[in-house]
Amino acid sequence: MESYLVHLLVVIATSAIIHIVQAQDQQGFISLDCGLPANELSPYIETTTRLNFSSDAAFIQTGKIGRIHSNAVSKSQRPYTTMRYFPDGIRNCYNLNVQKGRKYLIRAIFTYGNYDGRNIEPEFDLYLGPNLWTTIYLEAQSTREEMLHMPTSNSLQICLVKTGETTPLISALELRPMGNDSYITKSGYLVQYRWRYLNNSTTQSYIRYSSDIYDRIWLSYFQKEWTQISTTFDVNNSNEYAPPKDALQYAATPANASAPLTIEWSSENLHDQYYLYAHFAELQDLQANEIREFNLVWNGQHLLGPVTPRKLDLVTVFSRSPRTCDGGKCILQLIRTNRSTHPPLLNAYELYTVIQFPQSETDESDVSAIRNIVATYPLSRINWQGDPCVPQLLRSDALNCRNTNMSMPPRITTLNLSSNGLTGIIAAAIQNLTQLEKLDLSNNKLTGPVPEFLGNMKSLLVINLSGNNLNGSLPQALQRTGLELSVEGNPELCISDSCRKPPKKKVFVPIVASVGSAAIVIAMLVLFLVIKKKKSTIQQNLTMPPSTPKWNDTFANKNSRRFVYSEVIKMTNNFQRVLGQGGFGMVYQGNVNGYEVAVKVLSQSSTQGYKEFKAEVDLLLRVHHTNLVSLVGYCYEGDHLALIYEFLTNGDLKQHLSGLEYLHIGCSPPMVHRDFKAKLADFGLSRSFQGGVESQDSTAIAGTPGYLDPEYNQSGRLHEKSDVFSFGIVLLEMITNRPVISQTSENSHITEWVGSKLKRGDIVEIIDPNLREDYDSNSAWRALELAMSCANPSSSKRPSMSQVIHELKECIVLENSRVYNNQGLVSQAMSISLDSSVGPMAR
């Protein structure tokens, strides 16, 4: 027998209050209207529950949009009027950000509504990560699945898997964070079977959010053998389960006071295991000599009790162990004790079945590495969704995994990306596949050197790099015994000792900054977006450890900023968080004396090196501006060489422009940045020019594809207008909210795309749709024309940076005037200005 005292849960605590407040604010809620176009009233507030729903477009990359027939559901039943269906691929997955170790209520809703006119109900499987959750049968046109789950990582994947001829679909996906101290099982997870409150009213058939802070959907339930009792007073429901007060104001008792209160159901599976949670609150005034006391009996066996409900105060009792039903028939009875003067009472109850998820997810670091590799190239393979290794029948192609024990996370052992049209350098994320045994990157268009890290991956036994455009010399670490290496078909790759140059001193340099430019550009949005960002700065006068490096005279005055390599490891938490990667090396986030910094480390496979590192440091010692990245310190210790910079937070457009203009007209000699994308950094590629004279520097062409001046790219001649071109591209990015180079568009470069749209004369198609046409059209036209003139292929037809700033000021005057006319005033927080008065401080 199980003691009632063990299972009585009455938690009137601060934690319960916190849970209530958080849930009422929808904190952590995910509510996706599947199939709702991203630009169609998303997000919106559902009228009945006041829940905030949004489009699912940001959480899945596949599928098509469908709408149910108008006679299948009323408009009031939104968000279930649209769906996303998946005619392509076997497994299609949603990827949701969650909190690892936090319990969630997960709800998936499926409504067919004859959206395709075929009137054939779909049937398919629903997976949670690598484990089968349930099979969906849409015989009744609509169904709902709910379960309680605790993710084992910060990413949750919910997958629809095609099992026959019909097409999987989904209408809504909802996640609700729960209290972690509730619904504890011996093993497995809980699948919702019943949420019932005992009310015979016909006016209110269900209760959910916001009456229920966890958004459980409670259905009313009553039997003719029962008697209804109720109260108009609030019932205290402060415990971890927090059933809705509306439900607790009602209760049922047997009409025959001597009879038990009985609930029966049939178990769909003889082996189903159940957990019961019963909620009680006394609603009647009992005299001092009266008592209501009863036991809970499951299929004739004592389950819990005796229970004595408290007046207007919640008591929740539950079974610690799961129960089965003999013969598939389940009977729950509340039976009064001999000393009870009143019949048993029940306000609400919850029933769950148990589901086991035996298959562990693939190792989290392997999953992260694969996602980074897919994003690097990029790979848009539909069967690379979901867990990469398991279940085995749905495993991503091009992979093999070690999965000897279901309770242990599988590890990726083979990666075969042969003949996939890969371009660029070999992805650094490959080195994070620490159990990789075979790597095949053959027959692609990969360029750059063979990275040193491949030789340091001791698990690798086979590497095939043949049929690419790799160059440089082959790292000696790759010529180890037991490694099968194929590199034929790389005409510029040197594999003999005779062509290797003596090794240079490696310079470990964290230069940071422009790697994060994409995020900065997005954050700046559009010139005429009238919300100014606050700019956080990093204090320049940080205390650095003293040292006496043996360096040339140019670097002599940097001793006060020198770090040792162990300090670099500490400030980056052992290089834990990667900000990005460039041709120079990896960039990591760090912390120095409480200030965020960015640390750029020279890669051994980098095509850049000491020359660019020295140029970067020289320039930042000589040139200072509030909008040029600040040097915090450096590391020079043996082969370890690094630069530590301020961490670049998002600034406004004024700051970025004044930085670039300063390089052109405020420095002596003037500087051309060559790789301008946002706030200025990476000066290892910078070059000086004398006035308006073009530079004849013989240095190899360097910069970011798409942003690079086509004249400079063809002739190698550098001039002020090279940066103007790059800035024009950035301005187009901000105006359109489109990538510079799109592989899916007929006009791949942003200038081609904008040019084709301009021929139609409709600016609405060009401007970022997120602005919803909330801008001055004259200002928008002028800014767009300015951007296109900056990006003119002919440098002679481009304006100077000073002219650019003047023109943008005029645009801003128009926009501010619009705001003034619309609002009656221009507040300091909402008006835009462009002030280039920040004076140069060249040294």
Which positions are annotated as active-site residues? 675
Beta-bridge partners for 251: 229
> Is 600 annotated among the ligand-binding residues?
yes
Question: What is the full DSSP assignment across 577-645?
Answer: -EEEE-SSEEEEEEEETTEEEEEEEE-TT-S--HHHHHHHHHHHHH---TTBPPEEEEEEETTEEEEEE
Residue type, 478: L
Percent composition of the chain: helix, strand, coil (DSSP 3-state, to 5): 25, 25, 50
729 touches 707 (CB < 8 A): yes
Contact 329, 267 (CB under 8 A): yes
Selection from 681, 601, 677 nearest residue 641 by Cα: 601
Count of beta carbons in the 10 Å neighbourhood of residue 101: 11
Place of tokens 């909620």: 279
Q: What are the helix (H) ranges across 406-451?
A: none
Spatial separation of the C-alpha atoms in residues 826 and 824, rounded to whole Å: 7
CA atoms of 396 and 388, how far apart (whole Å):
5
End-to-end CA distance of the chain: 85
Helix (H, G, I), strand (E, B) or coil at 253: strand
- The tokens describing 164, both together, are 């026959």
Which residues, at least 6 apart from 289, have a Cβ–Cβ distance to it below 8 Å? Answer: 341
Nearest to 223 by CA among 248, 244, 252: 252
Are 491 and 466 a contacting pair, CB within 8 Å? no
**What are 158's strand-pairing partners?**
94, 128
| Neighbour count for residue 27 (Cβ, 10 Å) | 10
Angle at CA of residue 430, ends 362 and 677, nearest 5°? 115
The total number of residues shown for the chain amounts to 843
Q: Under the phi-then-psi rule, with left for phi > 0, alpha for psi from -120 to 50, and beta for the rest, what region is 641?
A: beta
User: What amino acid occupies position 115?
Assistant: Y
Residue type, 233: F
DSSP string covering 271-324, please?
A: T--EEEEEEE-B-S---TT--B-EEEEETTEEEEEEE--BBTB-EEEE-SS-B-
Instruction: State CA 650 to chain mean position distance.
Output: 19
Give the pair of three-digit tokens for residue 739.
């990538």
Q: How far apart are CA 191 and CA 354, in angstroms?
A: 6
> What token pair was written down for 78?
């939104």
CB 399 within 8 A of CB 107: no
User: d(Cα 134, Cα 126) in Å, to the nearest integer?
Assistant: 5
Task: Report the C-alpha gap between 759 and 715 in whole angstroms.
Answer: 30
Q: How far is CA 706 from CA 4, 429, 696, 840, in A?
A: 71, 24, 22, 30
Q: How far from 452 is each of 475, 476, 585, CA to CA, in Å?
A: 6, 8, 12
Closest CA to 382 of 188, 159, 132, 186: 159
Distance CA 15, CA 11 (A): 9
Pick out the residues of the known binding site for ATP.
Answer: 600
